[in-house]
Amino acid sequence: MTATRIFLGLSVSVWLPYGLFCLVQPGFLEGAAGVAASTPTGSADLRAMYGGLQAGIGALALVGFLRAEAARPALLALLFLCAGLALGRILGLVVDGAASPYTLVAIGFEVTSAVVAGALLRRTAPAAAL
């Protein structure tokens, strides 16, 4: 198994179950991450951002894992998504002092994922031009 498939498989195993769990149980985030909804709209937003989006990231990684031609686009998406998430959390750490264990673990995971996705992109051949 290639390093790309291993990375995508690990990404599936983290993003997809967590996203599906948050989609069904957004209240879990209050204890885990200190994020709570005070209105039905807030609950819907937690379901969307922590549930649907993260499950979607996992599904994208799954497609890249299963189909060789989708591996590179999945890596590119993971690079940008993880880098964006990490940047937002680091900004929160600096501006808001958000140094909770949840935030620090998430930053470590997202930075590592972005770096690994970028390194694997450099190692894989780009798709032929249309």
pLDDT tens readout for residues 109-119:
999 999 999 99
Residue 128 in any domain: the answer is: no
Residue 48 in any domain: the answer is: yes
Number of domains in the chain: 1
Residue 31 in any domain: the answer is: yes
What are 26-55's pLDDT values in tens digits?
999 999 898 899 999 999 999 999 999 999
Angle at CA 53, nearest 5°, toward 74 and 69?
Answer: 15
What are 75-128's pLDDT values in tens digits?
999 999 999 999 999 999 999 998 899 999 999 999 999 999 999 999 986 755
Predicted local distance difference test score (pLDDT) of residue 1: 80
Residue 130 in any domain: the answer is: no
* 34 burial via Cβ count (<10 Å: 0-12, 13-18, 19+): exposed
| Residue 11 domain boundaries | 3-123
Query: 42: which 2 tokens?
Result: 């807030």
Predicted local distance difference test score (pLDDT) of residue 98: 80
